[in-house]
Copies of this chain bind each other. A is one copy, B any other.
């Protein structure tokens, strides 16, 4: 069913991405970008664990590491999940439409598949916002020698959220349920405002600490 991109090589993923193959696409790349950001937050936490200089924040650092590893695991699953929901839309498009009943059934199946295909990048955006929040904690209390990695993490989190937003946008363009579209896009805009604010905050802090 799934092709398990994260279990394959980086080169294989990039090589297939570069072709006209329908997957992997921008949604999977958004999830992977978020996962790279989460991995960097985990690195910052890992470089702080057990360090005497950071004895006062060990409990918070352990929580940070647990949270970033959970988000990373979730985003790694979403890399694959995005290809599956995209596949379901493509399958629905192939349904017969010779009779009025077939057309109605195809439309209904399409609408369900499109909503799922919009929800996945929305979830990727939500998880990316978590990465941005965790990056701030990493930059604030993590090992100062790794502060640039917290900076890279927030840049990737913001880019991942914005990338996921584009992939929500594509799908809502085809969804007839206007209330679903309105509430979905409202949440996207909240997430983008939050990640942009966190990016600004973490980058300022990072450059300050780099001197």
A→B interface (CB under 8 Å): 5-11, 13-14, 17-20, 25-26, 29-30, 32-33, 35-36, 38-40, 42-43, 46-47, 49, 68-69, 72, 76, 79, 148-149, 151-152, 155-156, 158-159, 162-163, 166-167, 169-170, 173, 203, 206-207, 210-211
Contacts and interface: CB of A to CB of B under 8 A. Distances in A.
A141 to B, nearest CB: 16
A155 B61 CA distance: 30
From A9, A10, A173, A210, residue with most partner B Cβ within 10 Å: A10
Given A36-B32, A158-B159, A166-B151, A6 B17 contact: no
Contact of A17 (B39, B163, B210): B39
Contact of A10 (B32, B155, B203): B32
Nearest to A20: B46
B170 A210 contact: yes
Number of copies: 2
Nearest to A164: B152
Nearest to A45: B18
A206 B152 CA distance: 25
A101 B2 CA distance: 60
